[in-house]
């Protein structure tokens, strides 16, 4: 006789808990009033990691290509977000993750 009463108790718990969980609001996303999407400044680090196994001129060439692609991707993002002027330069530098100078 314990089995039916246990099943009844479990279903009552489900009936009580389900509506409470359904009313819990989802975690709030951070407010971003400008509409821009923050991008972690890791593109330079990614380029460094991808060229780590190379040496000499091959490493320099691949690093330049990778950074050029990263800048292009950041420029496309700035254009999509309609960032213009001096803020665009800052945005791209921040997006790429460097101060604009190449160090080898």
pLDDT tens for 10-65 read 555 555 655 554 555 555 555 555 555 554 547 888 899 999 999 999 999 999 99
Quote the DSSP letter at residue 34.
Answer: T
> If pLDDT is split at 50, 70 and 90, which confidence band does 2 have?
low
Residues 6+ apart with CB under 8 A from 35: 81
Please give the pLDDT value at position 43: 87
pTM of the full structure: 0.53
- Rounded to an integer, the average pLDDT of 92-100 is 76
How far is the C-alpha of 75 from the C-alpha of 4, rounded, in Å?
A: 66
Q: What angle do CA 62, 67, 69 make, to 5 degrees?
A: 95
Helix/strand number for the chain, H first, E second:
4, 0
């Amino acid at each position: 006789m314990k089995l039916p009463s246990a099943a009844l108790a479990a279903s009552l718990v489900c009936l009580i808990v389900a509506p409470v969980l359904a009313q819990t609001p989802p975690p709030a996303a951070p407010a971003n009033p400008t509409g821009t999407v923050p991008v972690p400044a890791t593109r330079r680090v990614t380029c460094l990691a991808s060229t780590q196994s190379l040496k000499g001129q091959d490493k320099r060439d691949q690093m330049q290509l990778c950074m050029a692609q990263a800048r292009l991707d950041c420029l496309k993002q700035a254009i999509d977000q309609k960032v213009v002027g001096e803020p665009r330069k800052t945005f791209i530098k921040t997006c790429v993750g460097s101060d604009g100078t190449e160090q080898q």
